[in-house]
């Protein structure tokens, strides 16, 4: 399996600060060598960069979208070469560019499914969010429920229908976010149910049967905080390494995954950050061995 690594070392639109240092930390910890040792043909990483001349003060969503357009170009190029795209991102906002890239390579009408592993739903809109944090909105953005300027700047041509979205490992939802989710066809499998084997594998199978390809997004706070003690958004009662490995592998074994995005690794905080990086590396080098080639259909 040929894999192109893409790094997006930003948190929001600020470069390599906090979570933005996560991609480099994984690379420095030996991720490329670990993947190659596990049997994947992993190419050297390429970085998505936002030209400073394109960055506008006070227009964070547009800046993120423009960075997403750079990410999209790299993901699309990998997909056209029949490679899987492994995106190491500062935070979850990078996902819009990843899906945009898949659409660019395969056509806006390509049926793309989304499996989103995260402690949180990331399904807020500006109207439902208590905090206004953009990293809590990407799934709603992908679904077309908010962020037209963001989507437009990233080149996302078509929203993802909510019946093609699966949230797994969730254990913290805002009240209004939960209400919004219930009004859609998004499938939600809680961390407790996922760990117990209730509904998750069947939901992945149903999704794979309706899509030509799947985008798998892994926010590392899906893990229990004792595994990622430096997490910026910890949520108790998360997945153990074996449970998260199986959750990722279940999706990869579908043979439909064309892109994986790994986000929200905070490498700071001394030994806490070191432990988080080590467990993230262990998770990826174990789970990604299940990644199988995804046939590409010409648009």
pLDDT value of residue 115: 98
Q: Please state whether the predicted TM-score (pTM) of the whole model is above 0.95.
A: yes
Confirm whether 296 is domain-assigned: no
Residue 66 lies inside a defined structural domain of this protein: yes
Give the pLDDT mean for 252-264. 97
Considering the domain boundaries, does residue 297 fall inside one?
no
Quote the CA–CA distance of 67 and 93 in Å, as a whole number.
Answer: 10
When pLDDT is averaged across residues 213-242 and rounded to a whole number, the result is 97
Assess if residue 298 is contained within a domain: no
Query: How confident is the model over 35-44, as pLDDT tens digits?
Result: 999 999 999 9
Candidates 245, 283, 289; CA nearest to 39 is 289
* Spatial distance between the Cα atoms of 129 and 290, rounded to a whole number of angstroms: 36
Residue 194, domain member (yes or no): yes
Q: Provide CB contacts within 8 A for 4, sequence distance 6+.
A: 43, 46, 74, 77, 78, 81, 83, 84, 85, 86
Q: How many domains does the chain have?
A: 1
The answer to whether residue 218 sits within a structural domain is: yes
Which residue range forms the structural domain that includes residue 34? Answer: 2-290
Asked, for residue 275, whether it belongs to a domain, the answer is: yes
Q: Residue 10 maps to which CATH number?
A: 3.40.800.10
Specify if 125 maps to a domain: yes
User: If you ran DSSP here, which 8-state letter would residue 286 be given?
Assistant: H
pLDDT tens readout for residues 82-128: 999 999 999 999 999 999 999 999 999 999 999 999 999 999 999 99
Output the pLDDT for position 72. Answer: 98
């Amino acid at each position: 399996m040929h894999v192109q690594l893409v790094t997006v070392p930003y948190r929001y639109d600020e470069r390599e600060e906090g979570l933005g240092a996560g991609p480099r930390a994984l690379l420095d910890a030996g991720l490329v060598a670990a993947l190659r040792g596990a049997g994947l043909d992993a190419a050297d990483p390429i970085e998505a960069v936002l030209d400073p001349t394109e960055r506008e003060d006070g227009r964070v969503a547009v800046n993120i979208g423009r960075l997403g357009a750079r990410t999209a170009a790299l993901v699309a190029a990998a997909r056209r070469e029949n490679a899987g795209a492994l995106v190491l991102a500062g935070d979850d906002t990078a996902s819009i560019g990843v899906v945009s890239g898949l659409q660019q390579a395969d056509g806006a009408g390509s049926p793309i499914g989304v499996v989103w592993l995260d402690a949180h739903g990331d399904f807020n809109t500006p109207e439902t969010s208590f905090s206004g944090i953009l990293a809590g909105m990407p799934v709603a953005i992908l679904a077309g429920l908010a962020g037209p300027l963001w989507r437009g700047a990233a080149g996302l041509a078509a929203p993802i229908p909510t019946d093609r979205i699966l949230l797994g490992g969730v254990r913290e939802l805002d009240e209004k976010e939960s209400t919004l989710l219930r009004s859609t066809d998004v499938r939600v499998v809680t961390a407790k149910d996922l760990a117990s084997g209730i509904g998750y594998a069947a939901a992945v199978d149903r999704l794979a049967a309706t899509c030509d390809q799947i985008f798998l997004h892994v926010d590392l706070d899906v893990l229990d905080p004792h595994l990622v003690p430096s997490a910026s958004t910890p949520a108790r009662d998360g997945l153990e390494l074996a449970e998260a490995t199986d959750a990722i592998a279940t999706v990869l074994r579908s043979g439909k995954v064309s892109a994986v995005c790994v986000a929200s690794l905070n490498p700071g905080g001394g030994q806490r950050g070191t432990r988080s990086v080590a467990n993230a590396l262990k998770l990826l080098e174990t789970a990604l061995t299940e990644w199988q080639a995804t046939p590409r259909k010409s648009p």
